[in-house]
Amino acid sequence: MSVGDTIRKNLEFWHWYPRMLCDGLTDDQLHWQPEGHPNHIMYTLWHAYRSEDDLIHSLLIGRPGVFARDEWAARLPVEATGRSPFGNGLDRQGIAAVRLSLDAVLDYAEAVRASIQEYADGLTPEEGAETVKLPFFEAVYPMLGEATRAEVLTFFCVGHTAEHLGEVQYIKGLMGLQGAPL
């Protein structure tokens, strides 16, 4: 089984799932910030896919991500992004200023998925087993000082994305709405 085959269903699911989670939400609900929690749903989605795009393309693929390559800045305008291009370090006020269209974020997520799937489909099992150094993550995540290419794909495209989609469900719950359908 190829690296692309092992991650395909997860990429499809975690890039489709926000469509279901956000179906029927108003713009106010998508941008609502709970007391004591700085993130709103749109920021959370943008951050999940923007970071996945940048990190996978820079760490593994070695070329500009979908955001830069396909000129997404006009469709996903974020003036201040904090310490990283994907919003790390923004405070509550900075996150409140992130006002994006759900359709644009979902279209971007799909474009990121397609690009990463194309990369994963081209990886041989031997290439997937190659080790990548990740010293900048080690201080926060001690087990991530290095990982294989396949593990990096799984961590950022599945684990990190699932973490933030869980956050979307949490925010919906704080609004009195159902998170996951099950």
For the 3-174 domain, the top CATH level (class) is: mainly alpha
Burial letters for 35-63: b for 16+ Cβ neighbours within 10 Å, e otherwise?
eeeebbbbbbbbbbbbbbbbbbbebbbee
Q: What digits encode the pLDDT tens for the residues 115-162?
A: 999 999 999 999 999 999 998 888 888 888 999 999 999 999 999 999
**Which pLDDT value is given to residue 181?**
82
**Which pLDDT value is given to residue 58?**
94
Q: Could you tell me the two tokens for 70?
A: 């396909």
Cβ-contact 139, 126 below 8 angstroms: no
CB atoms within 10 A of CB 143: 11
Q: What digits encode the pLDDT tens for the residues 13-48?
A: 999 999 999 999 999 999 999 999 999 999 999 999
Largest CA distance in the chain: 48
**Which pLDDT value is given to residue 141?**
85
Residue with tokens 């001690």: 142
**Which pLDDT value is given to residue 81?**
78
**Which pLDDT value is given to residue 140?**
85
The domain spans of the chain are: 3-174
**Which pLDDT value is given to residue 89?**
82
CA–CA gap between residue 170 and residue 166 (Å, rounded) = 6
Say if pTM beats, i.e. exceeds, 0.85. yes
Q: Could you tell me the two tokens for 157?
A: 């495209």
**Which pLDDT value is given to residue 83?**
76
Residue with tokens 């959370």: 44
User: Where are the alpha helices (H) located in the chain, listed in sequence order?
Assistant: 3-22, 27-30, 41-56, 66-69, 92-96, 102-122, 125-128, 135-138, 149-154, 161-174
Q: What digits encode the pLDDT tens for the residues 48-88?
A: 999 999 999 999 999 999 999 999 999 999 887 777 777 78
The mean predicted confidence, pLDDT, of the chain is 94
pLDDT band at 182 (very low <50, low <70, confident <90, very high): confident
